[in-house]
Amino acid sequence: MGKSVIFNRLTGVDVISSNYPGTTIDYTKGYLNIHGERAELIDVPGTYSLEPTCKAEEIAVEMLKDGDIFINVVDATNLERSLNLTLQLIRYKKPLLVALNLFDETQHIGIYINTEKLQQILGVPCIPTCALTGEGIKGLVSKINDACTSDFIFNNSQRWNEIGKIIDEVQEIKHKHHTFSEKLRDASIKPLTGIPILILVLLLTFLLIRFIGESLISFVFEPFFEEVWSPIMLSFSELLGKSGFIHDLLIGKLLNGTIDYGQSFGLFTTGLFVPLGAVLPYVFAFFTVLAILEDSGYLPRVAVMTDNIMHRTGLHGLAIIPMLLGFGCNVPGVLATRILESRKEKFIAATLMSVAVPCMALQAMLFGLLGQYGIKGIGIVFGTLIIVWLILGLFLKRIIKGTSPEIFVEIPPYRIPYFKGLIKKIWMRLRWFIKEAVPFVLLGVLIANILYTSGIMQFISRISAPVFNHLLGLPGEASSALIMGFLRKDLAVGMLIPLNMTFKQLVVASVVLSMYFPCVATFTVLLKELGIKDLLKSTTIMILSAFITGSLVNLVLSL
């Protein structure tokens, strides 16, 4: 833990880091200047050992072969375990230097490390650092040139004994009484207290996201679009002559002489409002709350508490982390399935997420679509998704071949999130969202306009009407929303609004839309992560389960 922060400090390249191991699942390259010379620095996935036990660790070991100098970032609060890797690196006989990260925390918990002595024994520079605040980083850079090959000789088969001897010499532990933090650690991992805490945290998370998102929309974004943007667009519309293909493409259709951001469907109106006005506030709210959860160190505890339920779906507790990320956006969610070891787990996690974990963009629009019915509509949709998630999981566990390893995870101590780190992480993810989402929404609006103008959309509506009517009880026009949903779910929901559907139809459409297919961006990532064969399998499962569930919901609500 902490490599990525140090990497960022050294190179200025932004990488996401969190208070739990395994955040870095791929490598990142950056450059730094050492006395006027440009050096390439590579952030390798974290590993406890050079005898790899998972994919990320294999990557790490593989990459070491090409390195000229190693910077070994160790957790100073866990020196004994960390030295295991240090000794293994020493045997590589390459220039090495050790950064004792989290050094500020050691004294706090009663651990005293004699850095001088450690340096003497290991024969390589050892520099105390605190990556989050940047302390010790300058010292680390100035010592890079001093990195040297260690001449420390030890019996590798007796490595742990050697480590024990070193620890006895350089580390002193003064016993501290049980602190509040430790009591909280215990309470949040014991089922009797931990489960209520988990429920409370999840509830608070949900409420906080809604509160922040809703407030931003009603007090900032909607007023801006209504009061500032609309008048500009109306004058622009005047300029374009209030109609015509170019007008409709850029501004869209005017409803009663004004712009309706959900239905006008122009590039500058709906195309900008959906990602920036309706979805961005929720994405911001989500990433803010998630960042706090990540950096506090609570997520691995969620993994332990939910391990049991996850097991029933052929996954283990750690899979809750990609799932939670998926609630923000399925793309990083699918990427994060790399922390799972087996092919079976990755397939199940990615499929379950695509089917039953609605991303923030979709959720924001569902709130808009069903909000008028209070908790009832939203409740049915989310309830259905939870049930589908479980049943589909039970089913996939049985039919997908392969192994489901057990949970084995380090649980970090609670840490108070470092403010600057939080802001940076939220900003990185928002920037990424804007870069990914806005182009797809604009493209979607463009395609929708072309399909409507050319009459293709109307044609598809007509031929798919029987299926939609009989199975799902939906008007044929709803099929155009599903087509748009391939590109962006949030746009698709907007297309359902003008259809004036009943409550039942809205619920069914929301369920089908949530389940049948992830957006095109997620689909691309799925292709990369699963490969074409598994992606086709996964897609078939998505479409089938969407239509089966949609028909069932339609049946149940018709009773």
Residue from 209, 364, 409, 513 that binds other proteins (CB under 8 A)? 409
Tell me the Ramachandran region of residue 314: left when phi exceeds 0, alpha when psi lies from -120 to 50, beta otherwise.
left
User: Do 137 and 163 form a contact (C-beta atoms < 8 A)?
Assistant: no
What is the spatial distance between Cα 310 and Cα 306, in angstroms, rounded to a whole number?
6
Smallest separation (angstroms) from other proteins to the CB of 191: 5
Residues 6+ apart with CB under 8 A from 461: 476, 477, 479, 480
Residue from 13, 30, 32, 48 that binds other proteins (CB under 8 A)? 48
Nearer to other proteins, 146 or 406 (CB): 406
Smallest separation (angstroms) from other proteins to the CB of 182: 9
Which amino acid, residue 506?
L
User: Do 361 and 488 form a contact (C-beta atoms < 8 A)?
Assistant: yes
Please tell me whether residue 292 binds other proteins under the rule CB under 8 A: no
Smallest separation (angstroms) from other proteins to the CB of 156: 13
Q: Supply 80's token pair.
A: 């004994």
Please tell me whether residue 169 binds other proteins under the rule CB under 8 A: no
Residue from 34, 39, 109, 451 that binds other proteins (CB under 8 A)? 109
Site for other proteins in 192-211 (CB under 8 A): 194
Tell me the Ramachandran region of residue 139: left when phi exceeds 0, alpha when psi lies from -120 to 50, beta otherwise.
alpha
User: Do 469 and 476 form a contact (C-beta atoms < 8 A)?
Assistant: yes
Smallest separation (angstroms) from other proteins to the CB of 98: 18
What is the spatial distance between Cα 269 and Cα 254, in angstroms, rounded to a whole number?
10
Please tell me whether residue 487 binds other proteins under the rule CB under 8 A: no
Nearer to other proteins, 267 or 303 (CB): 303
Reduced to 3 states, what is the DSSP secondary structure of residue 126?
Answer: strand
- Site map for other proteins, 67-86, x if CB under 8 A? ----------xx-xx--x--
Q: Supply 325's token pair.
A: 């990320």
Please tell me whether residue 189 binds other proteins under the rule CB under 8 A: yes
What is the spatial distance between Cα 101 and Cα 420, in angstroms, rounded to a whole number?
18
Please tell me whether residue 111 binds other proteins under the rule CB under 8 A: yes
- Site map for other proteins, 128-167, x if CB under 8 A? --------------------------------x-------
Give the largest Cα separation in the chain, rounded. Answer: 85
Nearer to other proteins, 109 or 446 (CB): 109
Q: Supply 451's token pair.
A: 């399909």
Smallest separation (angstroms) from other proteins to the CB of 75: 9
Residue from 58, 410, 450, 536 that binds other proteins (CB under 8 A)? 410
The per-residue b/e assignment along 193-216, b for 16 or more CB within 10 angstroms, e otherwise, is: ebeebbeebeeebeeebeebbbeb
Residue from 112, 245, 408, 419 that binds other proteins (CB under 8 A)? 408
User: Do 342 and 405 form a contact (C-beta atoms < 8 A)?
Assistant: yes
Residues of the shown chain interacting with other proteins in the complex, contacts defined by CB under 8 A = 48-49, 51, 53, 77-78, 80-81, 84, 109, 111, 160, 185-186, 189-191, 194, 300, 303-305, 307-308, 316-317, 405-413
